[in-house]
Structure 1
Amino acid sequence: MKRILMRRLLLSVPLLFVVSVVVFVLQSLIPGDAASQLAGLQATQEDVLRLRRQLDLDEPIWTQYWHWLNGVFHGSLGTSLTNREAVTTALGTRLPVTLSLVLGATVFATVLGVVLGVASSRAGSLAGRLVDLLSVGGLAIPSFWLGLLLISLLSVRLGLLPATGYVKFADSPDGWARSLLLPVSALALGGVTAIAKQTREAMLDVLRRPYIDNLRANGVPERRVVFKHALRGAAIPICTMSSILLVGALGGSVVIEQVFGLPGLGGLAVSATGSKDIPVIQGVAVYFTLLVVAANFLTDIAYALIDPRVRAS
């Protein structure tokens, strides 16, 4: 198990490098640059060129990338070109918002999906077809459309929950939960149905195995058979689906944060792309990659806790 975790950590280094190179090259292909944005519509060509030299945007792309990478080696992700704020500071204030949204959606989808999946695996073929139908519907409905629907119903019409904004947990735990309930629900819907279907299929497979029949023959209560033995046997594919859901939620958070006005990394990435703010774009890409690496790392640990064979490898 230690070898697997070490291999994961070692592979994350070239992964971060490749992602940073790809993002840097792709953003350089976008027409315009930060100098044109900052100079304004009334600026002359000389003004733009002078500002471009001040920001070192007149250098070749690989030189610019080396300067950024050299800063990373010294513990800095650079400075925003638009407001001269340190990138790590800008990302640090927004990271808790994105983490709250993504982790909340993952936990919500996993818990509710497992409950529905276990229930449908015990309820017969009709419940199975219903889960299949909901899975297709949940994956087909865009999260941003669902978010707008929830805002219209629960915020505008009923006034039960705030439509936009974010409250820090330290300021008000209740306000924090209320500000996240709608965006988490919108982001988690597709994941709930996917987890439910995966749980149902895994549970049906485990419940057909001989050791389950032996447990029942020895008089083990059905509740214990299902929730202790069968569910543990089905936990590996459920953990895999939850990990995939978490990574997908990172991408979905970009849109959801825009819909609900949340000051997270996704909203920062959108604004930085619009202003061609290269250091901020790079910083968001690095943070998102680190979150994906952390998700895979935690999944490997979960595998080891569930299956002793993984710990022995």
Structure 2
Amino acid sequence: MIAYIARRLGSGLVLIFVVTAITFFLTYGANLPVARNILGPNAGQDQLDALNAKLGLDRPIFEQYFSWLGGVFRGDLGASYFNSQPVVDAMASRLPVTMSVVVVAAVITLIMSVVLGVASAAKRGALDVVLQAISTIAFVFPAIVLGIVLVYVFAISLHWVPAIGFVPFSDSPGGWFASIILPAVVLSIGGIAALAAQIRGSLIDELSRDYVRTLRSRGTSEGEILLKHALRNAAGPALTTFSLQFITMFGAALFVEKIFALPGYGNYAFQATVQGDLPVMLGVILFSVVLVVIVNLLVDLANGWLNPKVRVS
């Protein structure tokens, strides 16, 4: 198991290095008009040159890269070109907002998908048709429309939750939950449809295998066959799908943050991209790749626990 984890960590570190290096050279080598964006259209060339020198953008690109890489190893991702706020501090203040929404959305997705997928595979018939119809509608229904509807019903009409804003968990656990539940539901809808379909298909395939017929011939109950044996064997593909859904949710959080006016990571990343704030863009990319590596490692470990053959594949 230790060698298995070491291999996954090694490949993850290589991926982080390659992606961030490529991103750095593509962004810093693109000659984005950073100084112009900061000083405005009326700034003279002398002012632009002075600001570029102050920011270090006039240095050779390899020198800039190794300077940034050294900062990464020291835990320093630089500071924003536009407000001088350290990137690490800015991300640390915004990530809890996005992670709150994404983690709750992931929990909702996992629970609902398992319930719908298992029920569809076990019962089939009319229930299967109804659940598939619900999943299909949820998949194609625009999330932004759903968000607006939920805000109107539960925030404006019923006053059960706030329409916009975020309450830190440390200030009020109840207020925190009320501020993120609608964004989390909106974010989870499409994921539920995809994951439930994956679980349903994998379970139907498992229930048709020879070992299931053998278990039935021995008098094993259908519930035990379904939950103890078939679901465990079907969990591998579902976990992979779930990991992709989690990463997709993190990227899609920008839209729910816009709808519900949440001061999250998605808004921060979007604004940095629009402005061409290079240190922030690199910090966002670095964190995103690290997140992908961690999620994939956890999924690999879970698959290895469910199926020991995976560890030696």
Does the alignment reach a TM-score above 0.5?
Answer: yes
Do structure 1's residue 65 and structure 2's residue 98 form an aligned pair?
no
- Cα distance in 1 for partners of 2:157, 2:26 equals 43
Distance 1:49 1:144, change over 3 A: farther
Q: Which residue of 1 aligns with 2:275?
A: 275
- What is the deviation of 1:310? 3.1
In 2, Cα distance between equivalents of 1:41 and 1:312: 59
Report the CA distance between 1:272 and its aligned residue: 1.3
Q: Which moved more, 1:125-134 or 1:115-124?
A: 125-134
Q: Distance in 2 between matches of 1:132 and 1:124?
A: 10
TM-score with structure 1 setting the length? 0.90
| Distance of 2:53 and 2:128 partners within structure 1 | 63
**How many residues are aligned here?**
313
Q: CA deviation at 1:287?
A: 0.6
- Cα displacement (A) at 1:193: 0.9
1:12-64 Cα distance to aligned partner (Å, 9 max, x none) = 22211222233334434778533223223553333233222211223344443
Moved more, 201-210 or 149-158: 149-158
- Which residue of 1 is the match for residue 251 of structure 2? 251
Please give the alpha-carbon distance, in whole angstroms, between the structure 1 residues aligned to 2:64 and 2:224: 61
| 1:190-235 deviation per Cα after TM superposition (whole angstroms, max 9, x unaligned) | 1111111111111111222232233333333322222222221221
Which deviates further from its counterpart, 175-184 or 160-169? Answer: 160-169
| SS of the residue 1:165 aligns to | coil
Give me the whole-angstrom Cα distance separating, in 2, the residues matched to 1:31 and 1:184: 38
SS at match of 2:168: coil
CA distance in 2, matches of 1:260, 1:4: 42
CA-to-partner distance for each residue in 1:252-296, whole Å, 9 max, x for gaps?
112222222222221111121222211111001101111110000
Match in the other structure for 1:108: 108
Percent sequence identity is 38
Whichever residue aligns with residue 91 of structure 1, its letter is: M
The correspondence of residues 40-119 of structure 1 with structure 2, limited to 5 A, is 40-119=40-119
Preserved contact between residue 87 and residue 283 of structure 2 (Cα < 8 Å): yes
**Residue 27 and residue 164 in structure 1: after superposition, are their counterparts in 2 closer, same or farther (change >3 A)?**
farther
Unaligned runs of 5+ in 2: none
State the TM-score, normalized to the length of structure 2.
0.90
Structure 1: where are the runs of 5+ without partners? Answer: none
CA contact (8 A) 1:131 1:197 kept: no
Say if 1:141 and 1:19 are closer, same or farther in 2 by CA, change over 3 A: farther
Aligned to 1:195: 195
Query: Does the C-alpha gap of structure 1 residues 38 and 2 become closer, same or farther in structure 2, counting only changes over 3 Å?
Result: same
Secondary structure, counterpart of 2:81 in structure 1? coil
Contact 1:33 1:275 in 2 (8 A): no
> Structure 2 vs 1, CA of residues 258 and 51 (structure 1 numbering), >3 Å: closer, same or farther?
same
Q: Tell me which residue corresponds to 1:183.
A: 183
